[in-house]
Amino acid sequence: MKMKKCASCGMLLDESSISKFSEVYCIYCQNQVTRELKSYKKVREGSIKAAMEFMGKTRKEAEKMADEILPNLPRWKK
């Protein structure tokens, strides 16, 4: 079975990370009080920081990764 990913940042979604307002967004991309979605700039920066912290990427590597992945996700795809 294919894991669902956040349509905004690409994070894998599970019971602890899925937004209570939408099954396509994670708790980091959608505010769990106001329902507001983060801007592309904020999602990109969060993705970069996560890649650096959890994957050991350099800033440059993390930026490249975010810039390759984010534009292809449903929320940002044109």
The tens digit of pLDDT for each residue in 29-62 reads 999 999 999 999 999 999 999 999 999 999 999 9
The maximal CA–CA distance of the chain, rounded, in angstroms, is 33
Mean of per-residue pLDDT scores for the chain = 96
Element at 64 (helix H, strand E): helix 59-69
Is the full-model pTM beyond 0.85?
A: yes
- Residue boundaries of the structural domains of the chain: 40-72
CA 1 to CA 52: how far, in whole Å? 28
* 3 neighbors 12 (Cβ within 8 angstroms): yes
pLDDT level of residue 1 (50, 70, 90 thresholds): low
